[in-house]
Structure 1
């Protein structure tokens, strides 16, 4: 049997073209803002092209330069649309540099046109066809707005025109102004001419710049139909779901699946800003993982996506590493073995006291499968989850289901915590982890409740686990937990201590250390989780895509929870 394909870096020729295009864009942008050196040539051009046209040409050259720099990323990934736009912009850049003067920029822009045509076969990755219509709509909107405003400004100055011009001349002048060309209308006052030129020219630049950016938006692939694949995926999780506590989260509605040719393994992923984010280990038969990964990497290469894996386990990390990706430790997952858990002993003193204190205050917990809850109780839980959510969006991607109350999730376990008056003050949702495990998905708690609410809910589900047939429970994930743990050890080195201080400072904005402490109190077993990526230069893009998917940054990853809104 043929060995599965490995991920490889883009061809050197493609990287060279991308760098050249970015260099040309940088030079063009810089030359556009520098004062012209050839005054005689500028004077000659001014006789042929109006001053407003020269000004617009210089601004347009700067905009095109910036766009060429932006296109470098798409060219590096082999995007055909990026190649097309880069070629058109380079041709336009040649013309604009001729208009505003400067032989060197013309030669540089012309050379890049030759290189792009010569290497055209390297850029074949398809784009989302929907982007074309989005670009057309954006471009038409800005052009329409610029035309209307320019026409209105001419109409307002109708009594200050140098001559008699009809409505058609006004329209021609406004339309030509969108492409930086002065129309037939002449104004008595130069300020009026300049105002109309700036308005129409600015909207023209906005139209083509926004259209270009939308045209270059990365594709997100073909979304799967949940009805077609959910049953198949659930069957796979039932047979092979014991290995990874994150397997059930592949059932998120925003994740896509790519299957091994045999259909016995799959990789769940989502495309965000040109990064294909997989999460957790591949699903299915372990021997088929390499072929599922190969299919996913082939899809990434075909679409020009950057592959990345969030929070895979040790087995998954090894499989992705063999496929050509680099691997670094991301943090640790806290796993509680039900049989060995006890509240006795000095290490558990804090948890024991917190649970006893809140129970004395009259708080109680109910632990049931979702299918065993009444419709009224489930509705109450959904309303509570929404009311107690911090922020307007549901955070999470790799370790969150982002829905509550779906009938298909009947095996999920809910922990409902009520106060002495019977009011619901907190809840947990845990999803199945194979046949004998649970994985924490959702945690909500009323901040006005007494201390110990979270401890009571966690301890309650651990105590009820045996009755539910559960042997292990996965709690939260602690980012870079090993740094804090090693910094507390005797003889910790200066690098570890410095790194620990940096993370503690970052914890003021993100719950890094506090999440580690919150999990450590239950004395769990720590299982490492890893980040997989092609190369270090891709890490900034991957980090932004991951934060967007997890809803820490605004974007397509920000979403309200299904069934809990």
Structure 2
């Protein structure tokens, strides 16, 4: 490759510019002050080339005109920043020795001449040469005045002081374009080889016009899909008419065969009947077409699957801006208000923590991936995009994302006909988003939301179509259609086809659950059964309607194939196959021996052989009855064998299509490596803000890590139950949650959240989830708590009574206990639990006195003899500057009423004296309903139901117990993804919290450890 850029081994060292001159010519950072009343305009990715005629030059000029019209309406003063890729030095159509002229440059010159405007140009990936080539920069500077820098730090003046916003070209956030030394003329990132060397080799002549636009992909990593798309629609589409030739021949060949049939000869003078026969011929040809289509799809999969798989494993293309957005999170943590980048071509303005992230998009024509009809490969649509960011300095900083964008026609007629033109908010003109008071704007939708919708539709359609086909198989066919079928096949074939349709229908109905979970294996079987059952419906009785419904279903499954990639549980699959094979073999052999022995030895019926009995038994297990069995034997054995076969198939299907099951056992396996446990503990210690965050460290929870964040969850069957909300930096928690959803979705899990905080509801809803209120957490402000007053008379008397009898409290660190005290505490704990395991999931740690649990607080209550009679363990809750209740225990001895009250009040007083602010107590289920704050008809019914359950579940008593301490009520929610998954999530919560603690989330539900018992 002689024309590749020179490496350091091939270059003359004397040609490398002096770094000091470079830093003066293009410094790494410039600080620019923006006064109140001024405006900043940031745009990028113009890709201005030479005046040579390029195929996309007209579209680019249209985009430039839209942006120039906005410039002409601006009178200044302010700053214009070009955040990378003003020029395109990588395409071969550009003369490397000249700077192309452009109307944009003239507009910049005019703007600077009529108003007080500063222009800054940041070298991007395609014009990185400006950073080290002073001659090229001076040539451009002769057209309009500007200054160079790698990044700009804007100091935006507001009435509250200055706010910092960083502007960068963005290439450093893209692994295929980032450079270790942006001043180096010899460093060539991977994308530079792709754009400057690889693609030009295939665009050197007019025949390679089908690759036009590959250098303008919104996401360059999808170039493999781009090539496949263009080969399909602009190469292979030319040969599409030839595919119809064998289908036409298939149709013509069938005509003489059908016409020669006796029934047709008798009706050959009736045109209507002849038309009916031709319709059957057409239907058969349609089946041929389906078989041909399947063969083509298989060939395409074999040809391209490896490339697409490698691509999907190496890059996450659903969120192009994610790396830059995480860079914004880091900048905001370091004191910046926001980060603005170019390069990524996907406009965005969104909140990140207490600041914002913005991507300028582009002012040029780009190509975006769009779905195609009939499940065909995606089509890449040209998009005339003109988007930019404006910042106003005033009383506060205001940022806006502005757009003047539209879609252009696809490059070929076939693509224009097949592209699905969905409503796209990116085509709007004007303001798309604003900060801090407006809405966010992101173009990339989380794929989980789309996939869940496709799975729901496919699952419902499979079940409904399966039920309809089962009903059709159980009813007699239409007589006229059956007579025609008998001209082709004997009646036994039609009956067998009917039985097979019934079995396929049952299989489809059973597969609906696996398809709903997105399992690839279930999708393959459902697709195969749909196509097979369509053919069988024609054979069993000419049921066109059912066959058409099945073919439409198969077409939908093919079109949404990317939504079904979740794996099945391989160990369960092996067990399912083993159960089916061994179970069937055992039942057939045993039943054959019994039936043959009964017929031959008891009834002395020698009309059947052992082998014949064996085949007949196997048939009846599968639903057939073509081989003979004696009448009395057949009358009772056939239903039993059929039910046995159905039961075996059900068990095998259930095991084959189970979601991935977590089989880890033991603390070390569940938690993973010790390094992961320590990582989780470090994240909780550093970023914990909620009262439930410490409970993420339970022994039965697994961890998902992303961007310094932790998502704690446990698997209960197919449900991944999350609790608490994700823990980590505010700037990256939402991104971590989205990646966890993608992770769970890939495994086919149902996701639910238990004890969700109200502050997280918007984030959950943004990812397609729903919430339901389940109660309130009681949080006591320890410095405001008072025992005085009439309202607190009962509590004051109870605490005074305990103190009068000589009871005292001590406070300890539970990780450093005296062995004798620890033994006494374990004795109390054993009495209160009566030997049962600790219950709880979202508000219970599940272990006590563990040396690894640092900074916990233990309240120990002793009687006048110094005997331990009760204790409370509290976990740290830095978010409320206090502690959260983990568990409360007391012995079974006779004590004055108010022992629990005494321990809680003593803890409140202790925390108030040690500079703490809050203490989280029990959880009150449906408190707002019981207290009458929610008074709709639905809430009245709920209140009546809860009161009836109060005796066994202590729902109302817990609320009233908490109320004695005059707490602030903090609502908690259960989060679920879809209504049909709500029962599974509720059962998972019941398993996690233990029986009869549903819907209580937390603690004190066993009467033995209730705070209401003396």
TM over 0.5, yes or no?
A: yes
Match 1:336 to one of 765, 775, 780:
780
> 1:249 is matched with which residue?
695
> 2:921 is matched with which residue?
475
Kindly indicate whether residue 735 of structure 2 is the aligned counterpart of residue 288 of structure 1.
no
> 2:930 is matched with which residue?
484
In 1: Cα distance, 2:792 partner to 2:582 partner: 63
In 1: Cα distance, 2:478 partner to 2:720 partner: 49
In 2: Cα distance, 1:259 partner to 1:25 partner: 41
Kindly indicate whether residue 886 of structure 2 is the aligned counterpart of residue 441 of structure 1.
yes
Q: Is the 8 A contact 2:493 2:540 kept in 1?
A: no
Kindly indicate whether residue 654 of structure 2 is the aligned counterpart of residue 207 of structure 1.
no
> 2:902 is matched with which residue?
456
Kindly indicate whether residue 523 of structure 2 is the aligned counterpart of residue 523 of structure 1.
no
- Worse-superposed segment, 214-223 or 90-99: 90-99
> 1:317 is matched with which residue?
761
Q: Deviations over 1:302-330 (max 9, x none)?
A: 33444433223244334444555445544
Match 2:680 to one of 226, 233, 236:
233
Match 1:27 to one of 448, 468, 477:
468
> 2:397 is matched with which residue?
none
Kindly indicate whether residue 606 of structure 2 is the aligned counterpart of residue 163 of structure 1.
yes
Q: Deviations over 1:188-242 (max 9, x none)?
A: xx3333443333332221111111122222225796505231111111222222x
Match 1:217 to one of 644, 654, 658:
658
- Worse-superposed segment, 543-552 or 279-288: 543-552
In 2: Cα distance, 1:175 partner to 1:550 partner: 47
> 2:789 is matched with which residue?
345
- Worse-superposed segment, 162-171 or 515-524: 162-171
In 1: Cα distance, 2:997 partner to 2:644 partner: 26
Note the C-alpha offset of 1:388: 3.3
> 2:304 is matched with which residue?
none
Change (3 A) 1:176 1:534: closer
Q: Secondary structure at the match of 1:127?
A: coil
Note the C-alpha offset of 1:138: 3.8
Q: Secondary structure at the match of 2:783?
A: helix
In 1: Cα distance, 2:733 partner to 2:988 partner: 24
Q: Deviations over 1:441-483 (max 9, x none)?
A: 2234567855434323433443444688754321112233223
Match 1:543 to one of 972, 986, 1011:
986
Note the C-alpha offset of 1:528: 2.5
- Worse-superposed segment, 63-72 or 21-30: 63-72
Kindly indicate whether residue 837 of structure 2 is the aligned counterpart of residue 397 of structure 1.
no
Q: Is the 8 A contact 1:174 1:183 kept in 2?
A: no
Kindly indicate whether residue 526 of structure 2 is the aligned counterpart of residue 80 of structure 1.
no
Q: Is the 8 A contact 1:290 1:323 kept in 2?
A: no
> 2:706 is matched with which residue?
260
In 2: Cα distance, 1:554 partner to 1:458 partner: 23
Q: Deviations over 1:478-507 (max 9, x none)?
A: 23322333449xxx6777655533443454
In 2: Cα distance, 1:394 partner to 1:174 partner: 52
Instruction: Kindly indicate which of the two structures has a greater share of residues assigned to helix.
Output: 1
Q: Please give the residue correspondences for 1:103-252 in structure 2 after superposition, counting only pairs within 5 Å.
A: 103=543, 105=546, 108-109=549-550, 112-113=553-554, 115-117=556-558, 119-140=560-581, 142-143=583-584, 145-147=586-588, 149-151=590-592, 153-154=594-595, 157=598, 158-159=600-601, 160=603, 162-163=605-606, 174-182=617-625, 186-187=629-630, 190-220=631-661, 224-225=671-672, 227-241=674-688, 243-252=689-698
In 1: Cα distance, 2:494 partner to 2:940 partner: 65
Change (3 A) 1:194 1:285: same
Q: Deviations over 1:82-130 (max 9, x none)?
A: 2123235446756886898683555544554454345434422233333
Q: Is the 8 A contact 2:817 2:849 kept in 1?
A: no
Change (3 A) 1:376 1:163: farther
Change (3 A) 1:229 1:514: same
In 1: Cα distance, 2:932 partner to 2:869 partner: 36
Q: Is the 8 A contact 1:74 1:82 kept in 2?
A: yes
Note the C-alpha offset of 1:424: 6.4
> 2:132 is matched with which residue?
none
Note the C-alpha offset of 1:289: 1.3
> 1:512 is matched with which residue?
955
In 2: Cα distance, 1:449 partner to 1:497 partner: 39
Q: Secondary structure at the match of 1:343?
A: coil
Q: Please give the residue correspondences for 1:290-309 in structure 2 after superposition, counting only pairs within 5 Å.
A: 290-309=734-753
Q: Secondary structure at the match of 1:286?
A: coil
Note the C-alpha offset of 1:24: 0.9
May I ask how many residue pairs the two structures share in their alignment? 541
Change (3 A) 1:39 1:151: farther
Q: Deviations over 1:112-168 (max 9, x none)?
A: 445434543442223333331232344346435534542453365251352177766
- Worse-superposed segment, 305-314 or 243-252: 305-314
Q: Secondary structure at the match of 1:277?
A: strand
- Worse-superposed segment, 403-412 or 278-287: 403-412
Change (3 A) 1:161 1:174: farther
Larger radius of gyration: 2
Note the C-alpha offset of 1:378: 3.6
Change (3 A) 1:29 1:385: farther
Measured on the aligned residues, the alpha-carbon RMSD in Å equals 4.4
Q: Secondary structure at the match of 1:9?
A: helix
TM-score (norm 2): 0.46
In 1: Cα distance, 2:826 partner to 2:875 partner: 16
Note the C-alpha offset of 1:391: 9.7
Q: Is the 8 A contact 1:428 1:441 kept in 2?
A: yes
Note the C-alpha offset of 1:245: 1.2
> 1:563 is matched with which residue?
none
Q: Is the 8 A contact 1:338 1:465 kept in 2?
A: yes
Change (3 A) 1:67 1:507: farther
Change (3 A) 1:215 1:186: closer
Q: Is the 8 A contact 2:874 2:886 kept in 1?
A: yes
Kindly indicate whether residue 461 of structure 2 is the aligned counterpart of residue 17 of structure 1.
no
In 2: Cα distance, 1:328 partner to 1:24 partner: 33
Q: Deviations over 1:278-304 (max 9, x none)?
A: 223321222221221222122234334
> 1:558 is matched with which residue?
none
TM-score (norm 1): 0.78
Change (3 A) 1:46 1:398: farther
In 1: Cα distance, 2:560 partner to 2:764 partner: 31
Change (3 A) 1:101 1:260: same
- Worse-superposed segment, 208-217 or 450-459: 450-459
In 2: Cα distance, 1:185 partner to 1:392 partner: 59
Note the C-alpha offset of 1:267: 1.9
In 2: Cα distance, 1:366 partner to 1:548 partner: 35
Change (3 A) 1:207 1:412: farther
